[in-house]
């Protein structure tokens, strides 16, 4: 059986209107299906948009809170059918906390979940922090998910790679930097690309990065969704506008080829990493 898989990722705007978001999800799933994709990754806040604190006011703008078994998640699973689809949402959990969460589904139901672990310091947050990174099985192989700021920390993707993930999906609402100069405005976009490629290359995994576009209450997002292969090479990407990026990869050959020499995961020296 061939291990060639077409992987798609989305750069697009998703806001507070859940029905609008569902229509946009269906649109991109159809588009990815026509492109032959078996995997599709949506951004952070696919359902209801992202949470952030308004500049200068400190006020929180909140997405709709959805239960972990909300009907909208099942609707996404129905739309996904044979496709593996990752989407983000604002979770109202059974433990009484709110989490910034991601879910991975097919038509058979929910395959995996992730709650954002890392939260930027200095940003008041209504979300509780998640406490783990765990890979899970999908019809196209073992997967992991991270959300937004999680990808800044090498330990996030490394933990998933050590748990057997061949593909890591990163769901982001990554904003452009403020400031008046071009260099300041471009800094966040440059870091966004840097982390995507570094996490792929250092772990020799496929890294699929989705992001919001446009703006919400004055916060502008960089877009730049991309599929990065296990050598850290960008195989497909969008720009700053809403779009779909699709790349065909051999998921068996990817890690095998990249890890032939050197083999990063096998050649670690955990006994020397005293701070970990």
Per-residue pLDDT of the chain (276 residues; tens, 9 = 90+): 458 999 999 999 999 999 999 999 999 999 999 999 999 999 999 999 987 655 544 456 788 999 999 999 999 999 999 999 999 999 999 999 999 999 999 999 999 999 999 988 766 578 899 999 999 999 999 999 999 999 999 999 999 999 999 999 999 999 987 644 455 557 889 999 999 999 999 999 999 999 999 987 778 899 999 999 999 999 999 999 999 999 999 988 766 565 566 888 888 888 888 766
> The domain containing residue 168 runs over which residues?
4-259
- Euclidean distance between CA atoms 80 and 182, whole angstroms: 39
| Residue 75 buriedness (CB in 10 A; 0-12 / 13-18 / 19+) | middle
Tally of domains within the chain: 1
- Rounded CA gap, 192 and 183, in Å? 14
**pLDDT score at 1:** 43
Residue 268 belongs to a domain: no
Residue 55: count other Cβ atoms within 10 Å of its Cβ. Answer: 11
Residue 218: both structure tokens together: 């004055």
Is 77 inside a domain boundary? yes
pTM of the model: 0.92
Three-state secondary structure call for residue 142: strand
Q: How many CA atoms lie within 13 A of 56 on its CB side?
A: 4
Domain assignment present for residue 200? The answer is yes
Q: Is residue 222 part of a domain?
A: yes
Q: Is residue 269 part of a domain?
A: no
Q: Distance between CA atoms of 116 and 100, rounded to whole angstroms?
A: 6
Taking every pair of C-alpha atoms in the chain, what is the biggest distance, in angstroms?
Answer: 56
The CATH number of whichever domain residue 68 belongs to comes to: 3.60.110.10
> Does 137 reside within a domain?
yes
> For residue 265, is it within any domain?
no
């Amino acid at each position: 059986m061939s291990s060639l898989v077409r992987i798609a990722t989305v750069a697009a705007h998703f806001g507070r209107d859940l029905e609008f978001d569902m229509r946009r999800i269906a649109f991109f799933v159809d588009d990815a299906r026509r492109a032959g994709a078996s995997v599709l990754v949506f951004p952070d806040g696919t359902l209801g948009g992202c949470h952030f604190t308004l500049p200068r006011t400190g006020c929180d703008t909140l997405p709709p809170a959805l239960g972990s078994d909300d009907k909208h998640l099942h609707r996404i699973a129905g739309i996904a059918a044979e496709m593996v689809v990752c989407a983000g949402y604002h979770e109202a959990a059974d433990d009484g906390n709110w989490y910034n969460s991601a879910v991975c589904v097919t038509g058979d139901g929910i395959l995996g979940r992730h709650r954002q672990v890392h939260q930027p310091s200095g940003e008041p947050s209504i979300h509780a922090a998640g406490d783990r990174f765990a890979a899970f099985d999908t019809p196209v192989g073992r997967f992991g998910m991270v959300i937004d700021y999680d990808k800044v920390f090498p330990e996030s993707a490394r933990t998933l790679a050590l748990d057997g993930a061949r593909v890591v999906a990163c769901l982001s609402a990554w904003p452009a930097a403020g400031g008046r100069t071009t260099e300041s405005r471009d800094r966040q976009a440059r870091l966004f690309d840097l982390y995507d490629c570094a996490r792929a290359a250092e772990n020799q995994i496929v890294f699929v990065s989705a992001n919001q576009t446009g703006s919400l209450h004055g916060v502008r997002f960089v877009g730049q969704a991309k599929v990065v292969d296990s050598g850290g090479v960008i195989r497909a990407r969008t720009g700053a506008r809403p779009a779909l990026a699709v790349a065909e990869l051999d998921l068996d050959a990817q890690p095998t080829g990249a890890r032939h020499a050197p083999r990063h995961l096998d050649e670690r020296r955990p006994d020397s990493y005293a701070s970990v």
